[in-house]
A and B are shown apart, each in its own frame.
Chain A
Amino acid sequence: MTVTTITDAELQPKDYASDQEIRWCPGCGDYAILKAVHKALADAGAERERTVFVSGIGCAARFPYYMSTYGFHTIHGRAPAIATGIKLANPELDVWVITGDGDGLSIGGNHMLHVLRRNVDVQIVLFNNEIYGLTKGQYSPTSRRGTKSPSTPQGSVDYPVSAGAFALGAGARFVARSVDTLQAHLVGVLKRARAHRGASFVEVFQNCVVFNDGAFDAFTAKDVAADTQIHVEHGKPLLFGAGKNRGLRLKPRKLELEVVTVGEGGITADDVLVHDETNRALAHMLVALEPPAFPVALGVIYCSPVPSFEAEVYAQASAASAGRGAPDLAELFVTKEGTWTVS
């Protein structure tokens, strides 16, 4: 494997790339996500030797091989468990989990639930392409109802899971969303995720050109993007549209969002909700928005940090040793029940 020598010089995005030939299909959205991660790490001045990418199985899971950092390509769905062990052994490491909709929400759904609720300090980037790519196109747990695939020739009958709602339900303290093609936005979201202490969950809508091309066109196509995406920012009004004059507000007397147009029907800028990323109830409403009635919410939807799992675990451990360091094992063998001597 590649041996990289660390220099004091500032690292460029390309310095985070390994020398391995990339094996994704030409045109796959994964390339853009890889590029964004390289840029986010360079911008943050991440040390390669302290950075670890952990993945499960799937197209996305090849990610660690294309990084010049430490990497562990594990087994299907289990990356969060391995990442948890890494953080328990060495909380100083900057650990990223790269997963997909099948890896993270189907076979690995249980681990995803627990890594989020425990709040292990890792960044989880879920590449959602609503399909199983590596195994050639079966429908996935995020595929929309009616998806025709080799395993569902008449269309799928089950209802999809919403990654964002799942993460919030699991107790995640950081939930964000972006799109593979929104390079600058994605870099910004990844940097926020990295800076967040505790589990950060980032869903990236990723186009699989081979098995599910255009799955997100309804809100990512250039001609509709402005009217179908809302880029949320803490403290800023929830406005969208080409003229930034459409907004979200609560329906009077109802806990329900509606789209309004500022300047129409007596609506003023003051009627529009202001994004509060620490408000869990608002986050739940934002992740549920879907076109055509609503825009898709992108950006940091929820961020409300608490101490990370490993920080709490180590606090207990140091309290147990009362700052004295590990005692000699001989102390362990002492017993209240008494000893006896055989001579």
Chain B
Amino acid sequence: MWALGLMLWMYGRDRLVTLDWLKKKFAGRPEIAQANVAALNAGHAFGETAEMSEYGPGYVVRPTAVTPGVYRTVSGTEALAWGLLAGKRAAGLEKMIFAGYPITPASLLLHTLADLKRYGVITFQAEDEIAAIGAAIGAAYAGALGVTSTSGPGMALKTEMLGLAIATELPLVVVDSQRGGPSTGMPTKAEQSDLFQAVHGRNADAPLAVLAAATATDCFDVAIEAVRIATKYMTPVVLLSDAFLAHAAEPWRIPDLDKLPRFPVRFHTDPAGFHPFLREPETLARPWARPGTPGLEHRIGGLEKDYDTGHISYDPENHARMTRARATKIAGIANDIPLQTVALGDDHGALAVVGWGSTYGALHQGVRRAREEGIDASHIHLRYLNPFPRNLGELLRRFDRILVPEMNNGQLVALLRAAFLVPAEGFNKVEGKPFKVAEIVEAIRERLDR
């Protein structure tokens, strides 16, 4: 009975049915019923408190793979770890410094990478979340790929350091495996409630790039993309994952290494005319000048810098200019990412179901079923959350209605409304459980009065 309780936890099933059955079955022997109920509850509670998140909870059926190739099974955490290594390779960087602090459900990534030292990754378990991102920033400053990983409460602690990385314009990848909140919340349960935090959660005007992985295998590609954007634009990139993706496993087509993207980093070495905030005209990225390079000795920091010299400046107009430059640089990434495509259905119609992150499977199946019923719905799934793909507003306007299912209380929907003035509606679930396909179908029907 104890094991059954644990199983119910692992698969995110309700205990009520079993509890009712036990009470009925042992109706005449309440002490036996009580013993069974206690054992069942204890098993369930064990799953909850032991934070055995790698075994559950939740299970979703994924669409079968069809692209020809050699396949294997991969978990979201493995795919993310390998994607970071592939990103390091693509950037031509010798070292990755991965710094983390134990936190559920992000620790798995630290454990996975700690075992991959032979691939040029140094893992560092820091004394706290702040030191973890600090070490990653220090590593980036010194010319390595700096990566840190955490979950919501840890993200909150990293906030000031993110501001420093933005002000000093250093490349950095921050993986946030989201869980239920606020505060300690529900550490083992998935949620998508750190989107606002990722996009806006810092003091001052402090823009950075935000990406989200949709499936376990997508983690691989998104990690590579995060490294590309971070190093090309000299910016922190927040990669949003969640408790569910961290543990989810699915078939993965082993990539052809020669066909993976390449975006070699060019460290600045020429002292002629150098200053640390000399921007590359197209990307507005500043040069990456590593300590150890003769003739490029310079000082950077969190104080505002002069646009033209890189020296400290409190000049009002210069601050406005630098604020705009930081914003324009991040906004400009929109010109360097794919246009938003439609995952399923037409690029116009009665209803667009717009999602992001680990809800991909449920939304996709929900829209598929609705379409089978003859409903004119399309599925749009966003990988790029800041900046948005440059055609997104125009694409959304081609739909009569926009439904945004999210495992939060309405975050992407607010960002879409603010960015595009579209009448997007939220459909929200914050129970620490993934959407069921039936819930999505029902929501679609409801919106279209079917």
Contact = CB atoms under 8 A, between A and B. Distances in A.
A118 to B, nearest CB: 9
A71 B141 CA distance: 10
Interface string B126-154: 11101110111111111110100000000
A153 B355 CA distance: 56
B291 interface: yes
A18 B135 contact: no
Contacts of B119: 326-327, 329, 332
| SS of A interface (majority) | mixed
A67 B291 CA distance: 14
Contacts of B290: 90
Interface string B60-71: 000001111111
Contacts of B127: 81, 110-111, 113-114
Contact of A329 (B85, B130, B253, B312): B85
Given A5-B295, A6-B295, A88-B135, A78 B161 contact: yes
B297 interface: yes
B234 interface: no
Interface stretch (B19-27, B298-306, B436-444): B298-306
B80 to A, nearest CB: 13
A264 interface: no
A90 B294 contact: no
A320 to B, nearest CB: 4
B274 interface: yes
Nearest to A332: B82
Interface in A146-203: none
A193 B160 CA distance: 31
Interface in A63-82: 64-65, 67-75, 78, 80-82
B120 to A, nearest CB: 5
Q: How large is the interface on A (under 10, 10 to 19, 20 to 34, 35 or more residues)?
A: 35 or more
A68 B297 contact: yes
Contacts of A341: 68-71
Interface in A285-343: 313-314, 316-317, 320-322, 324, 326-330, 332-333, 335, 337-343
B109 interface: no
A3 B295 contact: yes
Interface string B269-313: 001001110000000000000111111111111110000011110
A342 B65 contact: yes
Given A1-B276, A111-B131, A342 B68 contact: yes
Interface stretch (A27-35, A45-53, A133-141, A223-231): A45-53
Contacts of B131: 78, 80-81, 84, 110-111, 114
Contacts of A335: 72-73
B254 A4 contact: no
B97 interface: yes
Contacts of A74: 134, 137, 164, 301-302
A320 B97 contact: no
Given A75-B160, A75-B161, A88-B97, A81 B134 contact: yes
Contact of B138 (A3, A71, A84, A324): A84
B302 A73 contact: yes
B128 A110 contact: yes
A90 B130 contact: no
Q: How large is the interface on B (under 10, 10 to 19, 20 to 34, 35 or more residues)?
A: 35 or more
Given A320-B118, A339-B254, A18 B299 contact: yes
A136 to B, nearest CB: 18
Contacts of B68: 341-343
Contacts of B302: 73-75
Nearest to B116: A332
B298 A82 contact: no
A90 B137 contact: no
A20 B138 contact: no
B320 to A, nearest CB: 22
B248 to A, nearest CB: 16
Nearest to B276: A1
B301 A72 contact: yes
B286 to A, nearest CB: 12
Nearest to A54: B138
* Residue from A48, A90, A328 having most chain B Cβ neighbours under 10 A: A90
B287 to A, nearest CB: 12
B73 A337 contact: yes
B200 interface: no
B73 A78 contact: no
B97 to A, nearest CB: 5
Contacts of B296: 3, 49
B95 interface: yes
A326 B120 contact: yes
A329 B297 contact: no
A49 B72 contact: no
A320 B117 contact: yes
B238 interface: no
B139 A86 contact: yes
A314 to B, nearest CB: 8
A147 B96 CA distance: 47
B186 interface: no
A89 interface: yes
Nearest to B98: A88
B86 interface: yes
A83 interface: yes
B242 to A, nearest CB: 24
Contacts of B65: 342
A256 interface: no
B415 interface: no
Contacts of B298: 1-3, 70-71
Contact of A93 (B97, B117, B132, B291): B291
Given A3-B271, A329-B257, A85 B299 contact: no
B135 to A, nearest CB: 3
Nearest to B66: A342
A339 B71 CA distance: 5
Given A75-B164, A78-B161, A93-B142, A85 B136 contact: yes
Given A49-B297, A333-B254, A327 B135 contact: no
Given A2-B297, A3-B296, A52-B291, 13 more contacts: A1-B309, A50-B291, A72-B141, A72-B168, A78-B131, A81-B132, A85-B142, A86-B141, A86-B142, A327-B119, A328-B257, A333-B255, A341-B69
- Pick the 5 closest A-B CB pairs, nearest first: A85-B138, A73-B301, A81-B134, A85-B135, A71-B299
Interface of B: 65-73, 82, 85-86, 89, 95, 97, 99, 116-120, 122, 124, 126-128, 130-132, 134-144, 146, 160-161, 163-164, 168, 253-255, 257, 271, 274-276, 290-303, 309-312
27 contacts: A1-B275, A1-B309, A3-B297, A49-B297, A52-B142, A64-B299, A65-B301, A70-B297, A71-B299, A72-B168, A74-B302, A84-B124, A85-B136, A85-B139, A85-B146, A88-B122, A89-B122, A90-B290, A90-B291, A93-B142, A114-B126, A321-B118, A322-B118, A329-B86, A340-B70, A342-B67, A342-B68
